[in-house]
Structure 1
């Protein structure tokens, strides 16, 4: 049971939504692995309406672990986003970079750029390759919605019999300052549980934003709830996420967000899904966006997946242009 808990804690911050890595070294308690994926497709996937060759969140990472005894394991991960279609001076940019310390009884602490405890709860619907949960990534670095910059986090898992687990997480970020916006130190807490294939979670993120030009300071908070059932890619998987925010999402005073995902993974490697996402401005009574995507992913081999997706723009209360539907057909090769 201790090994199960230890693995769950490390996976919480080391993995994100999907993980695949090749171990290149393993000796006397030390491991080193190289992972990531190259993902490319053709479609109307970017910000314009032209059909083009597009990259789909490709990445490269290096991870290592060291058993230092007394139940303690140190691990590190460095991960970079890759821009391999256009070249230029910046082919790589940082996605993750942290050092973690895990104890089988005391829990896990991580320092650096990492997946946040908030995302542990909100990321349950962020599974498909092409189109998934957008609002978590809005200003994620300083707000900690997904990958959080300069974060210190702590996680602890508790086993419930043989088929259940309760997960607790804390996160803290220091001050972030730009020309127009200052984000004071932020704190987040997350609590989730899994039993018999079902999962439920809640997370809170809080801190202050100072709009330096207007000299106005506001509390920037978010409450997020999630429910899920099953394992993505293996049979039926269902997930729903509900977010209630104040000055958390794109500086809107008050917003609500809904994300739903229904997927079915077959034994032959085909995974089909449909998702729905809505963002609503409660203060102004405006629909910011609504969209739904139908997606197919087919695992040709353990390290090679093909995918096709079509996202339907269901409209908003701001745009005067035609619906901005998107689509892509592509492939992903895991390193």
Structure 2
């Protein structure tokens, strides 16, 4: 794997937002870095109370080792931080894995990690304040975003300078959590990149003890450009069976963003989730947001999320204003 690509993998650069890591050691094929971010601000909650808020603060450590013959081993551990309260629950595991990468043979990873399903489905999960909620409904167990106890494989096939075909697959073993039993789960993801455009498809399936049925999903996505660099467009369409709950569902996420040369980034995103069994709208919302890099490590954000109405809750418009500091 090229050095620049491996560095991106180790730093944890994903669709979920900005990442930054400071390299503390680099010698004789070994590296060690520390990264993460703290995001703090103010906003209102569902009861319209104004509160100090944090947005997924985290800290991570990353290490790589060149073991020869073109193979590089890497390890990552990342913890979510409870920055608003003290006590015993200050840290929670977000990621923890060991991976091995080779130019020709691809990349294998074992542990809690961003899933191949998310490689396809996460293309609209970009803004700091309000982003893609439905991917996180039960993501650790179903592998729709961060997946626990997963073994995954990825490989990119380059066909010329401008066309790449990406293959991903993941497996999770049997597990019990929250009163539900999960059987062996599997997923596969395919995507193609060409001249700034990417299209993808992923399939995720495996038994869950709602009704001794499979929790299954098909997701399609498309994107254009790079978030934070000029025009960025992305859309996600998910068809689920027992995936958002004990019902069949349809979920949509779309975003349009434009970043100026001074890094001022404006975005508009829309999200909806439908319960197809009862013909009810569970979620329907739109958010207007802006982000600005005061420095490469210090980012300001503001957002206003409009509840477009659903069949299960009252309308709750939300706002958020804050800053993110990349460690």
Q: TM-score range by the shorter chain?
A: over 0.9
CA contact (8 A) 1:13 1:114 kept: no
Match of 1:26 in 2: 26
Evaluate the alpha carbon distance shift between residue 118 and residue 135 of structure 1 in structure 2; reply closer, same or farther with a 3 A threshold: same
Structure 1 gap ranges (5+): none
Match of 1:62 in 2: 61
Q: Report the Cα offset of residue 154 of structure 1.
A: 0.3
| CA–CA separation in structure 2 for the residues paired with 1:247 and 1:13 | 34
| CA–CA separation in structure 2 for the residues paired with 1:14 and 1:145 | 17
CA contact (8 A) 1:13 1:116 kept: no
| CA–CA separation in structure 2 for the residues paired with 1:193 and 1:12 | 23
CA contact (8 A) 2:271 2:286 kept: yes
Q: Report the Cα offset of residue 309 of structure 1.
A: 0.3
Q: After TM superposition, list the pairs within 5 Å mapping 1:155-166 onto structure 2.
A: 155-166=154-165
| CA–CA separation in structure 2 for the residues paired with 1:241 and 1:81 | 26
Partner deviation per Cα, 1:161-214 (whole Å, 9 max, x = no partner): 112211100000011113631011100000001111100000000001113xxx
CA contact (8 A) 1:125 1:261 kept: yes
| Secondary structure at the counterpart of residue 9 of structure 2 | helix
Q: After TM superposition, list the pairs within 5 Å mapping 1:16-165 onto structure 2.
A: 16-17=14-15, 18-44=18-44, 46-165=45-164
| Secondary structure at the counterpart of residue 183 of structure 1 | strand
Q: Report the Cα offset of residue 16 of structure 1.
A: 2.3
| CA–CA separation in structure 2 for the residues paired with 1:48 and 1:57 | 21
Match of 1:283 in 2: 277
Structure 2 gap ranges (5+): none
Partner deviation per Cα, 1:69-120 (whole Å, 9 max, x = no partner): 0000000000000001111111110000000001110000000000000000
| CA–CA separation in structure 2 for the residues paired with 1:58 and 1:28 | 32
Evaluate the alpha carbon distance shift between residue 12 and residue 225 of structure 1 in structure 2; reply closer, same or farther with a 3 A threshold: farther
Decide which of 13, 16, 20 is 1:15's aligned counterpart.
Answer: 13
Evaluate the alpha carbon distance shift between residue 12 and residue 289 of structure 1 in structure 2; reply closer, same or farther with a 3 A threshold: farther
Q: How many residues matched? A: 325
Partner deviation per Cα, 1:125-173 (whole Å, 9 max, x = no partner): 0000011110000111000010000000000001121122111000000
CA RMSD of aligned residues (A): 1.6
- TM-score normalized by the length of structure 2: 0.96
Decide which of 249, 263, 266 is 2:260's aligned counterpart.
Answer: 266
Evaluate the alpha carbon distance shift between residue 3 and residue 266 of structure 1 in structure 2; reply closer, same or farther with a 3 A threshold: same
- TM-score normalized by the length of structure 1: 0.94
Evaluate the alpha carbon distance shift between residue 244 and residue 8 of structure 1 in structure 2; reply closer, same or farther with a 3 A threshold: farther
| Secondary structure at the counterpart of residue 144 of structure 2 | coil
| CA–CA separation in structure 2 for the residues paired with 1:63 and 1:310 | 34
Match of 2:235 in 1: 240
